[in-house]
Amino acid sequence: MDRAITIENVGPIEKLAIPLPDSGVVVLRGRNGVGKSHALAAVDSLVSGRGKPPCRDGAAKGVVEGFGAKLTIGRSTRRLGEAEVLTLEGRLDISQLVQPPIKDEEAADRQRIKALIQLSGQSADLNAFESILPENVSLGELVPPSEQDNDPVVFAGRLKRALEAEARRWEKVAEEHKAELSVVEKLGAAPQCDPELWFRIVRQPDVVRAEAEMAVAQALANLRQLETRQELAAKQAEQIAQAKRALAELEGGELVSPEKIDAEISELDEKIRKLEQALAAARERRAQLVRRREQAVALQQQIAELRRIVSQEVSIVDDAEIAKARDALEAARRAHAQVTDLIHKAYLDKRLEELRKRASEAEGRAAVFRDAAHATDDVLSSLVARVTRKLRVDGGRLVCDTDRGTEHFGELSPGERWRIALEIAVEQLGKGGIVTVPQEAWEALDPVNRSEIAAIARQVGVVILTAEADEHDDIHVEVV
């Protein structure tokens, strides 16, 4: 059943009736300046409620009526009733999808992606991004709650930057481990040694080190003991020689026995009793004799000690034994040095293994975060897919696949962009909807694309209202 929109006294239009079929493309034709764009704006204002078409010069008021609604234009604009027709009002401005008024192409694509997600009519749950995160990592760790935006495009950008920052951090960790790995590898290969000793070092480095250190200590102690014994033996031999000389001297002289001195002391004591006059001299003599006796006793003791020393056998440590002990010490030291080298090599091997593992793990984590950063595009693409399968998000940009390959949507020709945008609009409106398309957009389409869009509109049950310049002096309405 046909519908109609009437327009009176709007812009240069005095009166215009636009019959609308149930579906298809309606084109307003006429030369420039006859009011085609004013007619499109008037219809758009009628069905959307936005904008104020200009009243015709000299007319008291203008009227736009259709779809059960009436718009009166004068000093003030009045609207009666609600247009009973499906529109994209509040969901998508097609021109914003085709060419947002933003010079930066990446920013323009963000605006396009946001428009497509809004067009789906479904709110984007930020938890949809949880599924792409690395294990045991939460959204809050990467994007603080204060920076979490309900706009999925904005949030995806922040999350992607956070994931890339984490990837760079793990890549730096991997590079640090690789740098240390290179240094450790340059420290050299394992020295030649007994395999059994090497296995013991790998298994029990501390035990082997302690054994080597003990062997060095024992060898050193043995050498010190032998050197000390050699020094003592030399001193003992010298003492024996001195004792022999002293004994010979003493045995060659006259010895006075203590008994004889005792008898003389007794005799003198008797004389002292008899001769008090000689008491002082006798006492002095007695003191001298007592001292001589003490010297005699000490001399006897010295002779006995010297005889004991002379009778001893000297244990001589020869130079060969000392040299052997020194060789044993050097062997112990070489063994200790070898063990130390092997333990160092075992440590280096273990460190190399740890560094390779850590570098590999860090690279793996970096790759996981890189993949998660790329997957933010997949989440946005899944949201865009609710609206159209022709577009997706790659590298934060809106792209589509053409026969020329994958291209940025913003780099397509205006006609190609309008073709895709109109397909999206028609499919989203559904049966009974209407969409107004600027004249320059329709004229940018080639005949093939126009024909295909018209076919889609008829198939879905949508009316596309647009305009095209030709030689007519007045507006002519044509259903394509």
Q: What would the pLDDT profile of 210-237 be if each residue is shown by its tens digit?
A: 888 888 888 888 888 887 878 887 787 7
Q: What would the pLDDT profile of 448-474 be if each residue is shown by its tens digit?
A: 988 988 998 898 899 999 999 999 899
Contact 306, 243 (CB under 8 A): yes
Secondary structure of 18-36 in the HEC alphabet? EEECCCEEEEEEECCCCCH
Task: Please say which residue of 324, 346, 368 terminates a domain.
Answer: 324
Task: Determine the pLDDT at residue 37.
Answer: 93
Task: Determine the pLDDT at residue 383.
Answer: 86
Radius of gyration of the chain measured on its C-alpha atoms: 58
Write out the two tokens for 246: 């002293």
Task: Determine the pLDDT at residue 186.
Answer: 67
Task: Please say which residue of 257, 289, 324 terminates a domain.
Answer: 324
Torsion, Cα of 297, 300, 306, 311 (10° steps): -140
Task: Please say which residue of 324, 352, 376 terminates a domain.
Answer: 324
Q: How many helices (H) and strands (E) does the chain have?
A: 13, 12
Residue 354 lies in a domain: no
Residue 379 lies in a domain: no
State pTM to two decimals.
0.59
pLDDT band, very low/low/confident/very high, at 72 (cuts 50, 70, 90): very high
Beta bridge partners of residue 30, listed in sequence order:
469
- Residue 60's SS3 state is coil
Residue 8 lies in a domain: yes
CATH code, domain with 457: 3.40.50.300
Contact 79, 37 (CB under 8 A): no
Task: Determine the pLDDT at residue 110.
Answer: 87
- Please list, residue by residue across 211-246, b when 16 or more beta carbons sit within 10 angstroms of its beta carbon and e when fewer do: ebeebbeebeeebeebeeebeeeeebeeebeebeee
Torsion, Cα of 44, 49, 55, 61 (10° steps): 130
- Going by C-alpha positions, the residue among 230, 232, 219 that lies closest to residue 318 is 230
**Which residue range forms the structural domain that includes residue 209?**
203-324
> Could you give the strand order of the β-sheet that contains 476-479, starting from the edge strand earlier in sequence?
434-436, 463-469, 24-30, 476-479
Residue 93 lies in a domain: no
pLDDT band, very low/low/confident/very high, at 125 (cuts 50, 70, 90): low
Rounded CA gap, 127 and 148, in Å?
11
Give the best-scoring range by mean pLDDT among 73-87, 183-197, 408-422.
408-422
**Does the pLDDT at position 1 exceed 50?**
no
> Could you give the strand order of the β-sheet that contains 405-408, starting from the edge strand earlier in sequence?
391-394, 397-402, 405-408
432 — alpha (psi -120 to 50), left (phi > 0) or beta? left
> CA dist 361 to 104, 152, 372, 375, Å?
38, 31, 16, 21
What total number of domains does the chain contain?
A: 2
- Going by C-alpha positions, the residue among 205, 368, 239 that lies closest to residue 308 is 239
Give the best-scoring range by mean pLDDT among 128-137, 301-310, 355-364, 379-388.
355-364
- Going by C-alpha positions, the residue among 25, 125, 101, 15 that lies closest to residue 59 is 15
Could you tell me the end-to-end alpha-carbon distance of the chain, in angstroms, rounded to an integer? 17
- Going by C-alpha positions, the residue among 160, 213, 439 that lies closest to residue 338 is 213
Task: Determine the pLDDT at residue 277.
Answer: 62
Residue 53 lies in a domain: yes
Residue 80 lies in a domain: yes
- Residue 57's SS3 state is coil
